[in-house]
Amino acid sequence: MRKISHFIDGKIYTNSKLETSPVFNPATGEQIAEVELADTETTKLAINSSVKAQVTWSKTTPIARSRILSKYKDLLIKNHENLAKAVSQEHGKTIPDAKGSVQRGIEVVEFAIGIPELLKGDHSANVGTNVDSFNMRQPIGVCAGITPFNFPAMVPMWMYPVAIACGNTFVLKPSEKDPTCPIMLAELAIEAGFPKGVLNVVNGNKVSVDALLEDQNVKAISFVGSSPVAEYIYHTGTKNNKRVQALGGAKNHMIVMPDADIAKTTDAIIGSAFGSAGERCMAISVAVCVGKETSEKLKENLLKETAKLKVGPYTDENSDYGPLNTKAHYEKVLNYISIGEKEGAKLIMDGRKIKLQGYENGYFLGPCIFDDVKPNMAIYKEEIFGPVLSIVNVEKYNEALKLVDDHELGNGAAIFTKSGNIAKHFTENAQAGMVGVNVPIPVPVAYHSFGGWKKSLYGDHAMHGPEGVRFYTKLKTATITWVEDNAGPEFTLPVLS
């Protein structure tokens, strides 16, 4: 049985005394590896390695850090397929989906390569008589990232490239469900020229998470996951005097206006609701139809086009999406579907009937669509994180917008319309951190920042982009004058008349 350990101080670190957890192939339900779970002592080894590396790395010039990041980017591109395959084997994503997620991570590295420009401060001359003032951004120390199972390459790369570019060192605690790719990312970092200890990886569970949250050498915590855990990470981290950005769950709405192009809207909903088996925080899980005619047209198209989707393993290049990641999560999503039926929503497409020959023990679930969903239902209020779409019917745009605004999760929202006035109003007024107009998954590019509102984000900074640089640095302002000039007579300034 293949064993996955940790990456500490520039090399693989293993300890046979540590507990292990199984790693499954979600397409077959078979165990394919086991991963060591770090205890507090192992986590502290990684932290101490980063503390030691921080002394030198923080003094390395931004341009030198940039050049190593550039080499790292080249290695990531060279190993793109291998990284994607590791993601697919343990997560279940199709290869194209996995490749896309790795590419998104690489784009953050490309952004971080520009760190010499990003760290430039502001300067004001003569704020007083012979007094100048300027500011600078300096690294904050050892940073840590706690990342989810759904994007084992992309989400870690939202964090550590920017943190490291800013002069910090980093301890990554990825999901124990799909731990191979993060180890590969760390190995490539050493190959690119990063000093040992600049990036460490510890696999583990709550024990290692709490060790990172409590250790006083860790100055900042980045997290992506569910809202209850995000809230725990935020309050525990800040209680221990850490800077925290904790991204939580989502219930992303798409408002479909009467003037929307139904064919394009249908394609957009299918890709965003069912792609990656719905296991992404930017998935559209609620379609809000404005007007009865809009609803009827959309449902007719959705049922016809969704029926064409092929659900299967990543090894089948014709698969549109793969299985859910774990048996426990598969059963959780099935339970939500049962709850929706009991609550009175109409299940107009039931993906539970799917059966794949040779993959009977896999965690496959076909597309599920509920109609007549009400805001008081659990399937509307809670994040399901699976290929389940809820349709809510309203009469007016204002009612649709109110649904977006009233939901406690404000990660993302979209609207499909041909009206510039409606689009402008929605963009300016929707209570969500990321909005799209005729764009179903409004994920910001790497040089903008990713983050929601309300219970979708705990903390004051979104991830990557300019907000990422601000999160991973502390601001220092200098005010300078000289009482006397000791340069010598040959450097005497001319007398101005």
pLDDT score recorded for residue 492: 61
pLDDT score recorded for residue 486: 64
Q: Which tokens is 219 given? A: 């100055």
Q: What are phi and psi of 192, to 5 degrees?
A: -75, -20
Q: Which residues contact 13 (CB under 8 A, 6 or more apart)?
A: 5, 6, 7, 42, 45
449 closest CA partner among 230, 245, 241, 171: 245
Active site residues per annotation = 281
Q: What are phi and psi of 395, to 5 degrees?
A: -100, -30
- Domains in the chain (CATH in brackets) are 2-248+456-479 (3.40.605.10), 252-437 (3.40.309.10)
pLDDT score recorded for residue 490: 62
> Which own/partner contact pairs does 490-495 have at CB distance under 8 Å and 24+ positions apart?
none
Each residue's pLDDT expressed in tens, for the chain with a length of 497 residues: 899 999 999 999 999 999 999 999 999 999 999 999 999 999 999 999 999 999 999 999 999 999 999 999 999 999 999 999 999 999 999 999 999 999 999 999 999 999 999 999 899 999 998 899 999 999 999 999 999 999 999 999 999 999 999 999 999 999 999 999 999 999 999 999 999 999 999 999 999 999 999 999 999 999 999 999 999 999 999 999 999 999 999 999 999 999 999 999 999 999 999 999 999 999 999 999 999 999 999 999 999 999 999 999 999 999 999 999 999 999 999 999 999 999 999 999 999 988 898 899 999 999 999 999 999 999 999 999 999 999 999 999 999 999 999 999 999 999 999 999 999 999 999 999 999 999 999 999 998 998 999 999 999 899 999 999 999 999 999 999 987 666 665 666 566 54
Q: How far apart are CA 197 and CA 217, in angstroms?
A: 14
| Count of alpha carbons within 13 angstroms of residue 92, beta-carbon side | 34
pLDDT score recorded for residue 355: 85
Chain centre to alpha carbon of residue 407: 21
Q: How far apart are CA 353 and CA 212, in angstroms?
A: 43
Asked if residues 435 and 442 have their Cβ atoms less than 8 Å apart, the reply is: yes
Name the β-bridge partners of 24. 31
Asked if residues 477 and 271 have their Cβ atoms less than 8 Å apart, the reply is: no
- For 84, 146, 174, 230, the CA distances from 224, given in Å and listed in that order, are 20, 7, 10, 7
Q: How far apart are CA 13 and CA 201, in angstroms?
A: 10
**What does 437-476 look like in DSSP terms, one character per residue?**
ES-SS-PPPTTS-B--EETTEESS--BSHHHHHHHTEEEE
pTM of the model: 0.93
Burial (CB count within 10 angstroms: exposed 0-12, middle 13-18, buried 19+), residue 327: middle
Q: Which tokens is 414 given? A: 């979209």
Q: Which tokens is 263 given? A: 């064919």
